[in-house]
Amino acid sequence: MPSAIILIADGTEEMEFTIPYDTLVRAGVSCTSAYVLAEGASAKTLNPPYTTPSFASGSHGINILPDTFFSPQAATPDKYDLLIIPGGARGAKTLSESSPVQHLVREYLERGKFVGMICAGSLTALTAGLPKQPLTSHPSVKKQLEKDFEYSEEPVVVSGNLVTSRGPGTAFPFALTLVELLCGKEKREHVAAPMMFPRGTFA
């Protein structure tokens, strides 16, 4: 069974987290969500201290309960086939500025595993020092990326094992593309069919 780890932080865009998570689960992918705390914070410094995550507060104030705290040692590419970095300005800042997350992005790609970034989450391609290649993001961070990457405005861009997308409105094609890469085109069609997308859309 393929497996995926989906990162989340306070300020993560809810749709960019929940839609890939739910869609991958429908495809039979084993998913784990990992809560990345802002720089300087740790589970021990929370009030009260937590051994399991409390709710992450999404970019629109919706609380989401992650499966576990993020641990670089537990998130390595020998344990998962896919690493997903959602957007949301504040959440993407926490994720993209995390040196352990940056290291994991490079490690996943070096090991031939998949990395998905959506919206401002694509900033992690820059902070991780990935080589110049096709990429997309939310327009709000385009200027930060276009000099170092072959910037595209397509809904989903696949560059080798790196998959990037634009925002909440492209979360479904992003998620279904990840399903296809992990599980095949037939599984993508099987998952998309009962979702009842309007004829002619991206499914």
Predicted local confidence at residue 150, as pLDDT: 98
Q: Which tokens is 36 given?
A: 């990345």
Q: For 3-188, which CATH superfamily applies? A: Class I glutamine amidotransferase (GATase) domain (3.40.50.880)
Predicted local confidence at residue 196, as pLDDT: 94
* Catalytic residue from among 16, 107, 180, 183: 16
Give the count of alpha carbons within 13 A of 171, CB side only.
23
* Catalytic residue from among 14, 31, 107, 119: 119
Q: Which tokens is 165 given?
A: 């997308």
Domain boundaries, the chain: 3-188
- pLDDT-derived band at 202 (thresholds 50, 70, 90) equals confident
Q: Which of 183, 13, 186, 188 is nearest to 84 (CA)?
A: 13
Q: Is 60 a catalytic residue?
A: no
Provide mean pLDDT across the span 116-134: 98
- Going from the C-alpha of 129 to that of each of 48, 75, 105, 157, 201, the distances in angstroms are 36, 20, 10, 18, 34
Segment 129-163, tens digit of pLDDT = 999 999 999 999 999 999 999 999 999 999 999 99
The rounded distance, in Å, linking the Cα atoms of 7 and 80 is 13
Q: Is 16 a catalytic residue?
A: yes
The residue type found at 42 is S
Q: Regarding beta strands 56-57 and 63-64, do their DSSP bridges make them parallel or antiparallel, or are they unpaired?
A: antiparallel
Q: Is 119 a catalytic residue?
A: yes
